[in-house]
Chain A
């Protein structure tokens, strides 16, 4: 654990220097610890691949106090801790107008169905969110599915699009320009200001993609419009 300060109101805690599931687990456990600690003035905690930032109110606490708090944490014990996480199911309609680039994987020797099977077979770890609200940095994409970004990026990618950019898979919660290979689209709003959890997942959660056909896509859309749809997830881990 390395504690550094790059802003008046924030401390950064580094747990390593590479993308690694263990580091993510430690950071998630550390976040859990900090959230449960007595102590005023902590405003928010932001996770990334290797670090965690604690933003604090400089009128209620200070860097020294928080640093001492962090140092009192047993780093080795963080890995032992069983932290709950959610496995969130995202239904995706692959191919067609929903995933116009799914055919691009033929040059990798993969049929559309093979791409779907491979992509939907994995549980992806959410390392962090960023780039745009709710955009997950996911780990676990099969190497056979790695694919460079399109030569000409699209001006407009619809919200809910699921794609692959380089070694990353992920999804666009908002309409956006982008150069990813689009495999499919989910009817589930990844951002919904009316929902208790406006973004469906947080760092430390897992995501699985469930292939659906167009009929089900439309049915889910209707259920969402009438407020009947519930996002499916399982809680795992924990003691």
Chain B
């Protein structure tokens, strides 16, 4: 199918699971921030788990459908309307030529993924469809979507599945493992990191989240020789306020890193909004590896899907059909 962007929302980009294998050349991995929601949206449609989708941030986009297809959205709860009719996210929804898909503001969380049967079609760069806006590569001409953009999809590989994404319950804490310069931070500083928590500032984007809270001081200075960054690196520049590096991060950096956010909790962190609080809790790297492996297995084995009994989502509402007939 083909979608025409009516309103691009606040920050909408094409993403897949990321551009890997080129960090040594300085390419940020980019990719869907909430990998779990992204994969689940694709699962509902029977897509490959890496099929390109759209990531919308805080304020959703609207689209005109130019060819019949099926869509699914997952992640932050954004009010979704098709031809003015309300739909829930987390289910496959058939849409028809001429229909208008509208997403509202994110009510719970900050990022919503829109998947389409067959995945969105863009020219891959270094093996990935992910947009990296800072270097202007990947996705739709290396940029965020704009009104008037027309974006196609591939051929559906499978039928949509009669499932819905079940409610995801999570513990409050974001777990971290010791980082590269953990040894530069005293017992007291480590306790501060896992203390009452940090607030997300307004400076939170795909590159990283700047936090505000108890000041962290590194013994022997905050600057280190540039070394590779990792997803979730919690770096502490002079000034003592941590920055969590995320998908669009620079591949090398020179600030002391006290911790790395455990991958299992990345989806939880990236769905927080500016002003929200994040509480860190330290675990071992072995524990983090086990949790991540279990989480990925659960996602892939359908552990977050349940049978969908809500017929409204897979039967086309009459209002929309009538509207289309009248327009003919």
Residues of A within 8 A of B (CB): 4-10, 12, 17-19, 43-51, 53, 55, 58-59, 62-63, 128-135, 137, 174, 193, 198-199, 202-203
Contact = CB atoms under 8 A, between A and B. Distances in A.
A56 B243 CA distance: 25
Contact of B24 (A9, A47, A132): A47
Contacts of A198: 22, 25, 126
A199 B27 CA distance: 10
Contacts of B26: 129-135, 199
26 contacts: A4-B180, A5-B285, A6-B178, A7-B232, A8-B288, A8-B292, A10-B230, A12-B180, A12-B228, A18-B225, A46-B228, A48-B252, A49-B225, A53-B228, A59-B296, A62-B289, A130-B250, A133-B26, A133-B28, A133-B135, A174-B135, A174-B136, A193-B137, A198-B22, A198-B126, A202-B24
Interface in B248-272: 250-253, 257, 260, 262-263
B70 interface: no
Given A129-B25, A133-B25, A46 B251 contact: yes
B249 to A, nearest CB: 10
Nearest to B19: A133
A145 to B, nearest CB: 20
A137 B24 CA distance: 12
Nearest to B231: A7
Contact of A6 (B21, B136, B137, B177): B177
Contacts of B179: 6
Contact of A49 (B177, B226, B251, B257): B226
Contacts of A62: 289
A51 B136 CA distance: 29
Contacts of B233: 6
Contacts of A134: 25-26
Given A44-B24, A46-B23, A130 B228 contact: yes
A7 B260 contact: yes
A55 to B, nearest CB: 7
A198 B137 CA distance: 12
Query: What's the interface size class on B, roughly?
Result: 35 or more
B125 A193 contact: yes
Candidate in B226, B288, B292 with the most chain A CB atoms within 10 angstroms: B226
A132 B250 contact: yes
B312 interface: no
B23 A44 contact: yes
Nearest to B263: A8
B306 interface: no
A193 B263 CA distance: 30
Contacts, number: 118
A130 B225 contact: no
A180 to B, nearest CB: 16
Given A58-B293, A131-B250, A132-B134, A6 B257 contact: yes
Nearest to A8: B289
Nearest to A47: B24
Interface string B12-42: 0000000011111111100000000000000
A168 to B, nearest CB: 11
Contacts of B22: 44, 133, 198
Nearest to B21: A44
Contacts of B292: 8-9, 58
Nearest to A52: B228
Contacts of B126: 193, 198
Interface string B270-289: 00000000000000010011
Contacts of B24: 44-47, 129, 202-203
A7 B25 contact: no
A178 B24 CA distance: 22
Given A133-B26, A133-B27, A134-B25, 8 more contacts: A19-B225, A46-B24, A48-B225, A128-B226, A137-B226, A193-B137, A198-B22, A198-B25
A47 B293 CA distance: 26
Nearest to B253: A130
B227 A48 contact: yes
Interface in B214-252: 225-228, 230-233, 250-252
Taking each of B20, B24, B135, B262, which has the highest tally of chain A beta carbons within 10 Å of its own beta carbon?
B24
B143 to A, nearest CB: 13
A47 B21 CA distance: 12
B230 A6 contact: yes
Contact of A44 (B20, B178, B226, B289): B20
A91 B293 CA distance: 49
Contacts of A48: 225-228, 252
A7 B227 CA distance: 14
